[in-house]
Amino acid sequence: MLETNRPPRNKGFYVRMKLLHSMRNNRNPEKNFCYRFFKIIIWFSILLYFFSSFLITRHKPTISRTTIVQSKPSRALFQEPSINFSALKNSHGPFNGMKIYVYDLPPKFNSEWLSNERCSSHLFAAEVAIHRALMNSDVRTFDPSQADFFFVPVYVSCNFSKVNGFPAIGHARSLMASAIQHISSQLPFWNRSLGSDHVFVASHDFGSCFHTMEDMAMAEGVPEFLRNSIILQTFGVKHKHPCQDVENVVVPPYVSPESIRTTLEASPLTGNRDIFAFFRGKMEVHPKNVSGRYYSKRVRTAILRKYGNDRRFYLRRHRFAGYQSEIARSNFCLCPLGWAPWSPRLVESVALGCVPVIIADGIRLPFSSAVPWAEISLTVAEDDVDKLGEILAHVAATNLTTIQRNLWDPDVRKALLYYDRMLEGDATWQAMEALSGKLDRSHKKSSVYSQ
């Protein structure tokens, strides 16, 4: 049998190839290790992803059906039916988050009048006091687009007569109209709401009727250009009256808190009160008929005639600069009507701890939610002045101490006094609290809620 001759295998070549292959596979052992480690990480990540997906699908959360519009997140908020809007408002802080924009008017409407020092200290000076307090308060906003209300600071009570020194307000209507013309031509907010979210102060006899005599005030009524606005006014009665045919808040007349502090330092609330019943002011023995009306409806005349010689009653007809010290010595302070039903005696009596005896039928008193009038004062009908002595004697013998204890609460006193910087609970604060109850008139709030 023929046998094929094979060329002999070159063993040296085979060994060299194996060795070369082995060297290539082991050229970079560190890199090879990293490669294998990276593969392990990838496989672990894949397994973790599938395991997590399995858990999520088994425990799927409940998704709200509310439609979220990314470009208008505020709309999404108000589309959610489970939102407690009341809690949302209350969480905004004092006054339900209310903000007020204060117009920066030309000086002729306000600051020019302050050249007379009386402008910021007389009984009608609430218009100045509220303006000052708002300028420095947290309720103020400098961005009108964020405002709920717009405060228009016009001082109409600082034009003092050169004849008798009393405020003359014959210019009030034209000054107010001019201010409205100014703001409506400069900014869009008055025209946008027709003034329904604008606030004014009318701190004189018959509010925004701008007249000192009631018959004339009633005849002219509230000016048409103000009837859609909100008026902070000292005048208020419980019956229908043309001078309150406008959205309004009754505020107290101005009494200087500094004068009260000074008087109380000299005569503490719990000090000796040696005067039984006190009144100092205009009392006519023979009242004059002015335009068919008598001053105080003759009530003060009746008091003088009945009790002028009664030693229990300390009645004085003439002015006295230190009369607050007399109030601080008195148990009962008479607060009869003048031309208007209100007077600063009401505030002075409360602040100095003398029980106010209110003789003004139908008067609407300021801040009844903060001041418990029924517990700190007496109300006597105008027709019952002849019984006044008996009424006061009965109270003095029964519950005077209880009334005085209620009256001497410092929070009651604070609620009727204005301070340069608004304090929690003071008169400006109470006015803002009442105003926050009218936020349905806020254009900003109505715009947000309508969405």
pLDDT per residue over 217-251, tens digit each? 999 999 999 999 999 999 999 999 999 999 999 99
- For residues 441 and 247, the answer to whether their CB atoms sit within 8 Å is yes
What pLDDT is recorded for position 101? 98
Distance of CA 117 to the CA centre of its chain: 26
Residue 86 pLDDT: 47
pLDDT at 191: 97
| pLDDT tens sequence across 70-101 | 333 333 222 333 334 444 344 466 899 999 99
CA 73 vs CA 70, 77, 451: distances in Å: 6, 7, 11
pLDDT of residue 162 exceeding 90, the answer is no
Tell me: pLDDT of 61 over 80: no
Count other Cβ atoms within 10 Å, centred on residue 370: 18
Residue type, 420: D
pLDDT at position 33 is: 55
Q: Does 38 or 433 have the greater pLDDT score? A: 433
Position 44 scores a pLDDT of: 63
- Spatial contact of 121 and 342, defined as CB atoms under 8 Å apart: no
**Which pLDDT score, from 0 to 100, does residue 146 have?**
96
Neighbour tally for 373: CB within 10 Å: 18
Return the pLDDT at 92: 61
The reported pTM is 0.79
* Ordered DSSP codes for 270-317: TS---EEEEEES---SS--EETTEEGGGGHHHHHHHHHTT-TTEEEE-
> Mean pLDDT of all residues in the chain?
85
151-160, 254-263, 440-449: range with lowest mean pLDDT: 440-449
- What's the confidence (pLDDT) of residue 210? 96
Q: What is the pLDDT of residue 289?
A: 78
Check residues 304 and 44 and name the one with the higher pLDDT: 304
Phi, psi of 295 (to 5 degrees): -60, 135
- Are 231 and 248 spatial neighbours (Cβ–Cβ below 8 Å)? yes
> Residue 145: which pLDDT band, with cuts at 50, 70 and 90?
very high
Distance CA 216, CA 79 (A): 52
* Whole-angstrom distance, CA of residue 283 vs CA of residue 281: 6
CB-CB neighbours of 286 under 10 Å: 5
Give the separation between CA 296 and CA 71, rounded to whole angstroms. 64
Can you read off the two tokens belonging to residue 91? 């969480």
Instruction: Provide the pLDDT confidence category of residue 270 given band limits of 50, 70 and 90.
Output: very high
The string of pLDDT tens digits covering residues 396-415 is 999 999 999 999 999 999 99
**Residue 255 carries which side chain, given as an amino acid letter?**
V
Percent of the chain with pLDDT over 70: 78
Comparing C-alpha atoms, which of 312, 305, 258, 263 is closest to residue 286?
305
